[in-house]
Amino acid sequence: MNITTPYLPLQRPAPAVTVTRRPDGVQIVECPIPPGAGPDSLANYMADSAARFPDRTFIAERGPDHAWREISFGAAWARSAAVAEWLIRNGAGADRPVFLIAGNSIAHALLMLGALRIGVALAPVSVNLALLDESYGKLRHAFNLVRPDIVFVDDGERMAPALTAIGAGLCTIVSAGRPSPVGKAVAFDALLEVAPGPEVAARAAAVTGDTVAKILFTSGSTGLPKAVINNHRMLTAAQGMAQAVAEPPDPENDPLVLLDWLPWHHTFGGNAHFNLVMRVAGTLYIDDGRPVPGLFEKTIENLREISPTRYSSVPTAYGMLVERLEEDQALRERFFSRLRLMAYGGASLAQDLHDRMQRLAVGTVGCRIPFMTGWGSTETAAVNAAVYWNSERVGLIGLPIPGASLKLVPVADKFEVRVRGPHIMPGYFGQPELDAAAFDEDGYYRIGDAVRWLDPAQPERGLAFAGRVGEDFKLATGTWVHTGALRVTLLESFEPFLRDLVIAGHDREAIGILAWPNLAAAARLAGLGADAGPEAIVADDTFRRLVAERLAGHNRAHPESSLRIGRMILLADPPSIEHGEITDEQYVNQRAVLERRADKVAALFAESPATDVLVG
């Protein structure tokens, strides 16, 4: 692409960093820019926006007739008072959380607002724990930790088997849809009919930064989910920290418009995005699509109607989106018409994918669109570091945002990174035994990731992600394989043929990979019909030849044993949410895939490879 093409100008600070190097090799990395201040209560953001822009659309969702149903800031704030009063009358509080098994919706938003404004803790979990896991093991674990009296669901009848299995029969089950045959059934609409009393204001005034706002659960990729305490202080601090390196909001003249599918039980969807919309008086359109085959068409349909000012998603979504944008001029013009920022998180974006998106932007609106990424976790209120400046390079986590302190501990040729700041959790809910292991002797949270400086002599260029500390392994030769960095390199080498992959080879002579094809790109490039199924695609001789050519090209460019791929298998069946291979946010769990597909791993390294194994 033409690298001289300018970016859309945004009013953001230049990258700023201080590095303190200790005699033991540890580095403390911080941002000299002061963080923004936040209120004591997260709900104050909503109160301010409702007062300033009462008629502006806050949340919009698709209704049964597929038309957009909207609720304004003023109406949402007023109705949340009724929800708050009902919660008070039914005994909810910071020590008696509300358990939520529901997708994103207006009703879900109103319940959250009602709880947040009076200091009631929320404990949302993924609906997939109730619908896809027939053992209900993770759902039961979360329920037993919280021990709620009130459970909110979007459909009581659909959730009945799960509610029965986890022992919710004595709970009040509030349903936004069909009533629950389990427990005491209450229609959500009944909450909106309650007249707020003076206790709502009194309870709101008592909320402090230490009040528990949410209990968010980790994905449980290495065991059962951990219950992460999110108090009001860490959530408002995170917003102020992020705003200090972001473009100042202009809610009067250029309000934020976000089309978002990320679930609210996850820190990026429920904290970074939902709280942002409250704070800057933006409009959130709930995307009923997902970046998976069969559902992404809903996202495309929504983008034909909604022109976002900011688009944020996972790399998989951009891989699917770029294919559609390249072939549809009307969609391109709608998508880029108001766009000021693109963002991705959770995994690294392939360089070629980044460049294709920017070529489309230049061809459509005449400039590149700033493309940022952030790095964080459930325990850190979504973001610790970010690329908040224009960068043509992917694979970075950026620099610490104001208020965050990173501790880099040398490990071989990289650093284990730890983090401290006002946005860090105070601990785990109901699991105090986990707290001691989570923090080091200086109070830094052990997040488990590794990083490298892009250029140690120029730290302002940022830190690059170097994988999960626990996922790297040694080959039989003793050579280390850094899976995070290798995954990024491989996705770039195979762009656009692969959707994602996992890396194997612990104590083996060479590296092997299991990979899922990008079905749409594979069918098009191999000359197959648009209705070709995954089994036909992975077995197609033309597609396999194209992938084998890319494999050979990667190995020529990367002959080192830590990067060279010995064998490869293309997978037809997608990663399974039910078995923990992929999260709701479309992040692949390498360990779970390798354990569940042990037969495929064995086939990779068999003495005589089968016909479905591509040999490098």
Residues 6+ apart with CB under 8 A from 217: 123, 125, 142, 225, 226, 227, 228, 265, 378
pLDDT tens string 6-64: 999 999 999 999 999 999 999 999 999 999 999 999 999 999 999 999 999 999 999 99
Strand ranges (E), 480-545: 480-481, 498-504, 511-517
Tell me the CATH number at 538. 3.30.300.30
pLDDT tens string 571-583: 999 998 888 888 8
Residues 500, 588 contacting (CB under 8 angstroms): yes
Three-state DSSP class for 279?
Answer: helix
pLDDT-derived band of residue 589, with 50, 70 and 90 as boundaries? Answer: confident
Q: Which of 207, 240, 261 is the last residue of a domain?
A: 207
Residue 101 lies in a domain: yes
DSSP-assigned letter for residue 270: I
pLDDT-derived band of residue 480, with 50, 70 and 90 as boundaries? Answer: confident
- Please check the confidence at residue 79 and state whether its pLDDT lies above 70: yes
Task: Give the up-direction half-sphere exposure of residue 192: CA atoms within 13 A in the CB hemisphere.
Answer: 16
pLDDT-derived band of residue 522, with 50, 70 and 90 as boundaries? Answer: confident
Average pLDDT across the chain, whole number: 94
DSSP-assigned letter for residue 180: P
Q: Examine the domain organization and report whether 392 and 477 are in the same domain.
A: no
What global pTM score does this model have? 0.89
Q: Examine the domain organization and report whether 543 and 465 are in the same domain.
A: no
Q: Examine the domain organization and report whether 368 and 350 are in the same domain.
A: yes
Q: Which of 469, 498, 533 is the last residue of a domain?
A: 469
Q: Examine the domain organization and report whether 27 and 67 are in the same domain.
A: no
Lowest mean pLDDT among 107-111, 457-461, 524-528: 524-528
| DSSP string for 530-599 | TT--HHHHHH-HHHHHHHHHHHHHHHHH--STTT-EEEEEE-SSPPPTTTTSB-TT--B-HHHHHHHTHH
Q: Examine the domain organization and report whether 479 and 465 are in the same domain.
A: no
- Please check the confidence at residue 276 and state whether its pLDDT lies above 90: yes
DSSP-assigned letter for residue 369: P
Lowest mean pLDDT among 25-29, 51-55, 315-319, 320-324: 315-319
Query: How many whole angstroms separate alpha carbon 214 and alpha carbon 123?
Result: 6
Compute CA distances 189 → 154, 173, 386, whole Å: 12, 13, 41
Q: Examine the domain organization and report whether 194 and 52 are in the same domain.
A: yes
Predicted pLDDT at 3: 65
Which residue has better confidence, 585 or 372? 372
Query: How many whole angstroms separate alpha carbon 183 and alpha carbon 175?
Result: 11
- Please check the confidence at residue 94 and state whether its pLDDT lies above 60: yes
Residues 392, 3 contacting (CB under 8 angstroms): yes
pLDDT tens string 341-378: 999 987 778 888 899 999 999 999 999 999 999 999 99
Residue 153 lies in a domain: yes
Q: Examine the domain organization and report whether 106 and 181 are in the same domain.
A: yes
Counted domains in the chain: 3
Residue 7 lies in a domain: no
Buried b / exposed e over 561-587, threshold 16 CB at 10 Å, is bbbbbbbbbbbeeebebeebbbbbbbb
Query: How many whole angstroms separate alpha carbon 368 and alpha carbon 120?
Result: 44
Task: Give the up-direction half-sphere exposure of residue 605: CA atoms within 13 A in the CB hemisphere.
Answer: 17
Share of the chain above pLDDT 70, in %: 99
pLDDT tens string 374-420: 999 999 999 999 999 999 888 899 999 999 999 999 998 899 999 99
Q: Which of 183, 207, 231 is the last residue of a domain?
A: 207
Q: Examine the domain organization and report whether 350 and 493 are in the same domain.
A: no
DSSP-assigned letter for residue 6: P
Lowest mean pLDDT among 162-166, 425-429, 477-481: 477-481
Tell me the CATH number at 323. 3.40.50.12780
Residue 245 lies in a domain: no
Residue 3 lies in a domain: no
Q: Examine the domain organization and report whether 136 and 202 are in the same domain.
A: yes
Domain of residue 142: give its range. 43-207
pLDDT-derived band of residue 478, with 50, 70 and 90 as boundaries? Answer: confident
Q: Examine the domain organization and report whether 431 and 478 are in the same domain.
A: no
pLDDT tens string 142-188: 999 999 999 999 999 999 999 999 999 999 999 999 999 999 999 99
Residue 120 lies in a domain: yes
Residue 535 lies in a domain: yes
Share of the chain above pLDDT 90, in %: 81
Q: Examine the domain organization and report whether 55 and 189 are in the same domain.
A: yes
Residue 51 lies in a domain: yes
Q: Examine the domain organization and report whether 301 and 436 are in the same domain.
A: yes
